[in-house]
Amino acid sequence: MALMVSFVSVAVSILYTPFLLLILCVIFLASIGKSLGVRRLYVNVLLKLFEYGRQHIEVAKKLQRTDSSDEEEPPPDDKPPSALVKENGVNGTKNNVIERQEILGPSPELNYKRSKSQERLQNGHMVDVKGETNLEFHLHHCMDLVKAGMESIIEDQVTSVFEAEELRSWNLLTRTNRQYEFLTWRLTIIWFMGFVVRYFFLLPLRIFIFVIGVWWLIACTACVGTLPDGALKQRVNNALSLVCFNFLSRCISAVITYHNSDHKPRNGICVANHTSPIDVLVLMCDSCYSLIGQRHDGFLGLLQRALARASPHIWFERSEVKDRHAVARRLKEHISVPDNPPILIFPEGTCINNTSVMQFKKGSFEVGGTIYPVAIKYDPRFGDAFWNSSRYGMLHYLLNMMSSWAIVCDVWYLPAMTRSSSESAVDFAKRVKAAIATRGGLVDLMWDGQLKRMKAKKEWREMQQEEFSKRLKGE
């Protein structure tokens, strides 16, 4: 025991000075918004290691099939992840079991418009290729809906977006149960070295940076809060906010690439797709935003009160969140002041796994003003940024983030969009959502993200039943 204590004390005395210098270097670089390029070099090295691992997996799989030629061929999903990639839709990629032609949606009119058959029901009538109308109904007329329904039961669009995104190749983490790390001794050594680096060097360093960064943020906002309201307070808050959040981004080794900075929001409402709580961190590293959300207790409440001292944020009590008029009124009051920073909103209302964009709530599109869309796309090879809140708590999620290789993402600022006079808030929200999905390479879905926590609306089922009854009656 005494030998172990002496060993630890010697190790601490040796590493104390380099560790302190590293922290001071990180603080200094974050304060001036610069980087030495170490993280990007680190990411490039990881990409080469991932490619090396992929090649060894494929070679090992081929050797296994050769050695066991008397056995049956392995099923298709036994291939390496690089062979499992499949395009799904125009805007994004997902790994799906079923190649769909018909997809059931909330609106029955959309379902019937997707029909590719030569005979199509129009207003309950069957129209053949000659243009003659026939009121007869045959069982095969409903097979398109039956087929789409069975496909949705086997693999629906909603459930898949609340699971971790499939990887194209193994990233040397144990997220997969295929046990690639034990295929060859070379892969085992590389995986073990990576485990040691992530958990015995990067994780302690990142936790230390996180603790310092949080308390530094609280101290800075407390100091800014003592200044009188005005232009000086706003400039000081913008500068310190960028420093604090850039420093905090080091605790997840964030490598963020911003595109089209000329479209960066200056005021109004900024909307973005939502993958994780760190979406706020990613955007705050480049600009200062006001936030809107429910008031919390505990650690999150501490951060909310700290941020509110330095900048105008909108925090609601639990009883006010359901009051749409109160939310709209607070939003209008905020955007009516030109000097206020843009307010950041995630209209999906829940975290999606960064493969898709789900229905945008219309509330933020009803208040008027200019909407600044932002598309965020994470690279899942280095770490899964998606927060499955129904499965992991906040502390578990933060541990997963800090023990990943890195968080790598791209941010695209899109041109400002305004609602036309003939456009409803719902249509405007759909147009903004489509623009974000196209730019971010995401699949544009019509479904409400709250299906993660609740059943489908009764009205949707009744609409489908009513439309199908018209088919049966030939109306």
pLDDT of residue 11: 66
pLDDT digits (tens, 9 = 90+) for 353-398: 888 999 898 888 888 778 999 999 999 889 888 988 778 888 888 8
pLDDT digits (tens, 9 = 90+) for 306-327: 888 888 888 877 565 566 677 7
pLDDT of residue 471: 67
pLDDT digits (tens, 9 = 90+) for 333-359: 888 888 889 999 999 888 898 889 998
pLDDT digits (tens, 9 = 90+) for 195-205: 999 998 889 88
pLDDT of residue 273: 93
Whether the predicted pLDDT of 93 surpasses 60:
no
Separation CA 267–CA 290 (nearest Å): 10
The Cβ-side half-sphere exposure at 43, using a 13 Å CA radius, reads 18
pLDDT of residue 433: 94
Separation CA 220–CA 333 (nearest Å): 26
Using a pLDDT cut of 90, give the percent of the chain over it: 18
Query: What are the residues whose beta carbons fall under 8 Å from the beta carbon of 21, sequence distance 6 or more?
Result: none
Separation CA 442–CA 444 (nearest Å): 6
Whether the predicted pLDDT of 331 surpasses 90:
no
**Mean pLDDT on 82-93:** 37
Highest mean pLDDT (candidates 77-81, 99-103, 216-220): 216-220
pLDDT of residue 458: 75
More confident residue, 314 or 440: 440
Domain ranges of the chain: 204-444
* CA end-to-end span of the chain: 86
User: Across all residues in the chain, what is the average pLDDT?
Assistant: 77
The closest of 53, 37, 12 to 194, measured between CA atoms, is 53
**Mean pLDDT on 438-463:** 80
pLDDT digits (tens, 9 = 90+) for 233-252: 888 988 888 888 988 998 99
Distances in whole angstroms, Cα of residue 366 to Cα of each of 67, 312, 429: 65, 21, 9
Contact 432, 417 (CB under 8 A): yes
Separation CA 326–CA 453 (nearest Å): 24
Query: What are the residues whose beta carbons fall under 8 Å from the beta carbon of 192, sequence distance 6 or more?
Result: 181
pLDDT of residue 319: 60
User: For the domain 204-444, what is the CATH code?
Assistant: 3.40.1130
